[in-house]
Amino acid sequence: MSTPNRSVSVDALGEIAVHLEECESIDAVYTHAIRLAERILTFDSAAIHIQQNGRFVPRSTHTTRLIPSEPVSTDQGVAGRTLETGRTQVVRDCREEPLAIPTCRTFRSVLSIPLEDDGVLQFFSTETDAFSPLDRERGELLAATIANACARVRYETALNAERDQFAALFQNLSDAALQYRTEDGTRVINAVNSAFVRVFGYEADAVLGKPISTVLRIQGETDHDETSDRADIEVVLETASGPRPFLRRSVPIPASDGERRGYRLYTDLTDLKVRERDLERQNERLDQFARIVSHDLRNPLTVANGYLELVRDELGADHEAVMHMQQSHERMEALIEDVLAGTRESTDLSGLEPVNLEQVARDAWEHVETTGATLRVDDADVWIDADPTRLLQLFENLFRNAVEHGRTDDPPEIYVRVTAGGSWFCVDDNGPGVPEDEREAVFESGYSTDEENTGLGLAIVERITTEHRWTVSIEDSEWGGARFRFDGVYPTERADADSISTPPEDHDG
């Protein structure tokens, strides 16, 4: 048995703590702690046991002459009682302690100390009453020192893992990125990722330690602008393939030492700018086309309608020629309205407002030729956020589609029903329905099974749905017809009456 100086001071514990601070793993902490324990305690054997799957498993042992006991269940022995109570147990004579489970009859006393939440630190002696209150205090201080060292190791291990993950993320970013530090008010490059090397054509070693402003120059701005604290700005930078537009994002990181650090991310906007220019040109062409449709086609149609009135007065409204001309004019007007609707720009979602679903549906029914058809509105008295004009148009197109496709030479009565749930609403009809293999195609512009239709009605429905960030699908209705189901439509609170917009009666669709 080793016999340390019984007047050992807390200096020995301090030295042990210093040694444990140098350990890089939990096992190393346990091993060093057990071996250094002789500096503060006198014992014949020592061990650290950790509970795993209901049993104590030795993680570190140290003995001068005896072998510690085999692993036991966590509800057995002095160790089990230590873990259960969370308090230090001192056994003066194992032969008088029913819970004592020594390796051999030689063990007479035990000092058992809880170690964190799942382990015990134990010291054994062949002598009775070997551990004094001072030994107990020193043992508990040692256990606390071990716990602190283990907590540090766990923290550093987790921190290193996070750093490794972040370093991997930094390197694998698709955007060019750099890390910087601030020296005398100047941002200096600390690191760059592989995308930075590829995009700007610099090798990493060539730019490390250099100011950002000398490596990346913003066209049309001064070097001072590159050191701006603005979070997100668009810049044009020289790259390996020439000037290109980027969205530059700044991510400053607070540092305890007062030094300013952070990251710069550069998202290439070249493709986006090309798409924006193409979209602008497309919108210009659509606007021009809409003006032609609105003026160059409607003006002659208005003149033709005037002459039709003269012919109707001369021949009568029931004359076959008059009826054919009237149908042709109505067909042209429907085409103009649908084409205008198809070229309309998307609704600004920020302008949505509470509208009553049932009221809009009933208003839309009044705007459509529905002779021989009946509208039912069940459980649809709900308020939703929507553009009232666009929602009105959605219902008009659905109702017109149901009525037109539900008619035959000998038409039965046509039923259309609007229902709503927690996050959806549906429009059902009792018409012929839509075959499953055509349910995606019906939303395409120009698709129609009727030569008298423009084929734009349901395409407009889908566009309005997309504008509102809803989704639309087609199912079979309970009548065997078509059900148009709109999901992602959530109720909102009813607005004050004065703030509710009423859809205009006269619109271009």
Would you state the pLDDT for residue 130? Answer: 92
pLDDT band at 6 (very low <50, low <70, confident <90, very high): very low
Instruction: Give bridge partners of residue 476 from the DSSP assignment.
Output: 482
Q: Residues 222, 212: contact at Cβ < 8 Å?
A: no
Q: How confident is the model at residue 184 (pLDDT cuts 50, 70, 90)?
A: confident
One-letter amino acid for residue 194 of the chain: S
133-178 confidence digits (pLDDT tens): 999 999 999 999 999 999 999 999 888 888 888 888 888 888 999 9
DSSP string, 189-241: EEEE-HHHHHHH---HHHHTTSBHHHHSPBTTS-HHHHT---SEEEEEEEETT
Distance between CA 211 and CA 181 in Å, rounded? 9
What pLDDT, on the 0 to 100 scale, is given for residue 349?
56
Q: How confident is the model at residue 71 (pLDDT cuts 50, 70, 90)?
A: low
CA 484, 337, 459, 503: dihedral to nearest 10 degrees? -50
DSSP string covering 437-506 = GGTTGGGSTT--SSTTS-S-HHHHHHHHHHHTT-EEEEEE-TTSSEEEEEES--B-PPPPGGGPPPPPSS
Token digits of residue 448: 């129609």
Query: What per-residue confidence (pLDDT) applies to 257?
Result: 63
Q: What is the pLDDT of residues 201-214, one digit of tens each?
A: 999 999 999 999 88
- Residue 309 pLDDT grade (very low, low, confident, very high; cuts 50, 70, 90): confident
Q: What is the DSSP string of 120-188?
A: EEEEEESSTT---HHHHHHHHHHHHHHHHHHHHHHHHHHHHHHHHHHHHHHHH-SSEEEEEEEETTEEE
Which domains can be identified in the chain, with CATH numbers?
A: 10-160 (3.30.450.40), 174-268 (3.30.450.20), 270-345 (1.10.287), 348-509 (3.30.565.10)
- Diameter over CA atoms, the chain: 132
385 near 350, Cβ under 8 Å? no
Q: How far is residue 149's CA from residue 36's CA, in Å, rounded to a whole number?
A: 14
Q: From CA 257, how far away is CA 78, in angstroms rounded?
A: 49
Segment 12-17 shows an average pLDDT of: 89
Take residue 62 and report the two structure tokens written for it: 């140290």
| 291 or 162, which is more confident | 162
pLDDT at 104 over 70: no
Q: Which residues contact 255 (CB under 8 A, 6 or more apart)?
A: 261
Instruction: Please state the rounded mean pLDDT for residues 269-277.
Output: 86
Q: Does the structure show a pLDDT above 50 at 304?
A: yes
Residue pLDDT, tens place only, 427-479: 999 988 888 888 888 887 544 555 455 456 788 888 889 889 999 999 999 98
pLDDT at 341 over 70: no
pLDDT tier for residue 497 given thresholds of 50, 70 and 90 = very low
- Tell me what pLDDT residue 499 has: 45
Most confident listed range (148-152, 287-291, 341-345): 148-152
Terminal Cα-to-Cα distance of the chain (whole angstroms): 99
Least confident segment among 139-148, 190-199, 492-501: 492-501
With beta carbons less than 8 A apart as the criterion, state whether 139 and 33 touch. no
